[in-house]
Amino acid sequence: MGDPRKIRRKYDKPSHPWQKTRIEEEKKVFDEYGLHNKKDIWRMETVLRRFKNQVKSLASRVDEQSKLEEKQLVSRLTSLGFIKLEDSLDAVLGLELKDVMERRLQTLLVRKNLAKSMKQARQFITHGHVRVESKKITFPSYIVGLKEESFIEFTPGSALSKDDHPERIIQKASKEKVEKKKVVVKEEVPPAFDQKEIEELEETGALRKKEAEAEQELKKKEELKKKEKSARAAKHNPEGKRAK
């Protein structure tokens, strides 16, 4: 039996630690749903695996007990929102990990616009700001039933229960800013000059460049002439150089 005080894990680890395809898939789920660690993924996979194993075991049995268990399983799955009443048990075998992740309290808090991100939703839950059907829930992996979904709210004693809380106001303001940015991008800025005016400006600019280049060439020629004159004067008057 073991020590009853020892808390045993309620999930199954992967059979092999290094599998590239599994690690890549887990990374996508980890980033999308803002999980704390991969234990959250393994918990949901274990829940899904147990439901599928139960369906497989019922498929091989034909007795009154199996019919009773089948009814109980269908009612439980429909109450959790995994399947519909008109679906058969074979629909359970087609469920994926994403179907279970969408029923977590952390995910539903974001879907109901009570949190801006998955990480913020996790913080609200772990700090005791959220309750479901008048019960405070402090673990984000809580699977919410269809009846409980409409009763997700902030606890009355929490500051987040007020509509004018800064975190809730920022959420609304951010949406307005995004809409304003979209409108500004769509608006086209009218041109400042006509085509004729642009051509005239280009012509005047080209003329000014030519004039500036001509002035520079004249200056260079004048400087060369001055240097040549000074050199000639020095050659014709060598005594002046000695006096200096």
Cβ contacts of 153 within 8 Å, gap of 6 or more: 114, 130, 131, 161
Q: Which two tokens stand for residue 158?
A: 């929490």
* pLDDT band for position 127 (cuts 50, 70, 90): very high
Asked whether the predicted pLDDT for residue 90 surpasses 90, the reply is: no
Residue 51 is which amino acid? F
CA 103 to chain centre: 20
* pLDDT band for position 214 (cuts 50, 70, 90): confident
- DSSP element (H, E) containing 131: strand 130-132
Cβ contacts of 107 within 8 Å, gap of 6 or more: 33, 101, 118, 121
User: What is the pLDDT at residue 223?
Assistant: 85
Beta bridge partners of 153: 131
Q: Give pLDDT tens digits for 45-70.
A: 999 999 999 999 998 888 899 999 99
Phi, psi of 180 (to 5 degrees): -60, -40
Q: Which two tokens stand for residue 211?
A: 């004039």
Task: Pick the more confident residue, 135 or 236.
Answer: 135
User: What is the pLDDT at residue 162?
Assistant: 82
* Cα–Cα dist 43/139, whole Å: 13
Asked whether the predicted pLDDT for residue 132 surpasses 50, the reply is: yes
Task: Pick the more confident residue, 177 or 226.
Answer: 226
User: What is the pLDDT at residue 160?
Assistant: 87
Phi, psi of 51 (to 5 degrees): -65, -45
Q: Give pLDDT tens digits for 166-206.
A: 886 554 445 566 566 666 555 555 555 566 666 666 667 66
pTM (2 d.p.): 0.65
* Cα–Cα dist 44/29, whole Å: 11
Average pLDDT score, the chain:
83
Q: Give pLDDT tens digits for 8-35.
A: 888 888 888 889 999 999 999 999 999 9
User: What is the pLDDT at residue 180?
Assistant: 64
Domain residue spans in the chain?
Answer: 7-101, 195-243
Asked whether the predicted pLDDT for residue 243 surpasses 50, the reply is: no
